[in-house]
Structure 1
């Protein structure tokens, strides 16, 4: 597939989302959405993230329904290992009491991990399939059919996850401290004098907003750079196989690490929000 494009066109094609938007002439796709601005939907990101999320829930639910107290199957042992791993990290990091945190941490870790693992799929496979479907199913030019199969390489998705965590931070801060306590935390720290209220508010607001920002950008930056390297390797043709294999083996360590970091930072931020100063 790389031979059909120049290198720059090939890279741009693989890094472009399948986009849908509303225009004056109705619903439009891809290139016709270039002037749509904010109100454009990345349908590949939505489809893959929702589909992988459903797959994660189905897999864990099916294993839980078949779980036995006897000798576990390999699949049950794997799921129990993941659950115990997440539970141990929640127990050691979250110092409050909440029935939500452990399931939330497990969902974040499992969902982000399975989305990250899409990065191991050869970069030409899914775009090529999408191009064939567009060509023979809808009469489209394959060059105008885009498919990004790694949802976490889309900043919109990582920010959506981070905003969800941010809303929980605000919720737990108000729940544990009350509106007055939360307001006091923003205005009377780190300098406990009324004269420093403006300075305290600016510092604490920046700290608060930096949490979802760091969550979103860290996950996006690592996965986007990784996907870009896979695409660059693919541009060299048949000689890509050894390099692709080596980068994929290294990546097997990186992908779970990024899911783990996102999960741990979420737990830490919610633990800080739940502390009653």
Structure 2
């Protein structure tokens, strides 16, 4: 169906539908084993590009006269390292590289939201692919996959760094040992809330930004430039802030896992 033949509702729904592969089609609808292939393709492609780009910069690094690209990357690395030094008080060497990858990867995925709404869908439509969302962070499956990975690291460091002190901490904090029956559920709620706050904050902001671009695309072509340009400029700020917040909360949560309250 062409864009001209769609109603406004159909056009919006068309751009909100994923390219999905369901491994359990006999159950009807999208089951647990339904994969959003567009999210996987874009996120993995950007991840490989980012890894290759950083590898190339590392191989071209010079100590005498660094180029502009090397200076730019070094500024980002120093910024992330400074943020880690201020917020993280453990000894793990994983945190700074993890924070750098989290920030750059999420920023690149967010940046896909600046592509014209109809660009990839129309191009892929020539090959019979009629649904394709190009913003992985507007898919809760992607944001929860990242946040759950961070949560597993939080659990790992809580156990390996604190050992038996973790049990004492859960039983005695924050209300003292005599209210252990309140301390334990409060601690569980606190920990379980972390992946939800990470995932839903990023997803909510990026989904809302994507939806606004879709609504702007419903306007006549001559009326799209002003609101689209203004929102794109503002959205660059949102893209950067959301990547920074996810990175910052990751550092803070992992730092808390290393500290005894």
Number of positions where the alignment pairs a residue of Structure 1 with one of Structure 2: 259
User: What's the counterpart of residue 22 of structure 2?
Assistant: 21
- The answer to whether residue 198 in structure 2 is matched with residue 215 in structure 1 is yes
- The answer to whether residue 230 in structure 2 is matched with residue 236 in structure 1 is no
Q: Match for 1:112 among 106, 122, 130?
A: 106
* 1:176 and 1:276 in contact (8 A); partners too: no
* 1:234 and 1:240 in contact (8 A); partners too: yes
1:22 deviates by 2.1
Cα distance in structure 1, aligned partners of 2:257 and 2:22: 38
1:24 deviates by 6.1
* 1:22 and 1:36 in contact (8 A); partners too: no
3-state SS of paired residue (1:41): strand
Q: CA RMSD in A?
A: 1.4
Task: In structure 2, list runs of 5 or more residues that go unmatched.
Answer: none
Cα distance in structure 1, aligned partners of 2:131 and 2:142: 17
Cα distance in structure 1, aligned partners of 2:14 and 2:211: 12
User: What's the counterpart of residue 161 of structure 1?
Assistant: 146
Cα distance in structure 1, aligned partners of 2:138 and 2:53: 24
Q: TM-score, normalised by structure 1?
A: 0.90
- The answer to whether residue 4 in structure 2 is matched with residue 10 in structure 1 is no
* 1:153 and 1:224 in contact (8 A); partners too: yes
Cα distance in structure 2, aligned partners of 1:61 and 1:41: 30
1:58 deviates by 0.7
Which string of whole-angstrom CA distances, capped at 9 and with x for unpartnered residues, describes residues 45-73 of structure 1?
A: 00100000011111111011001112221
Task: In structure 1, list runs of 5 or more residues that go unmatched.
Answer: 26-32, 135-141
User: What's the counterpart of residue 185 of structure 1?
Assistant: 169
Q: TM-score, normalised by structure 2?
A: 0.96
Structure 1 segments, 4+ long, off by >6 Å, are: none
User: What's the counterpart of residue 137 of structure 1?
Assistant: none
Cα distance in structure 2, aligned partners of 1:172 and 1:261: 21
* 1:2 and 1:234 in contact (8 A); partners too: no
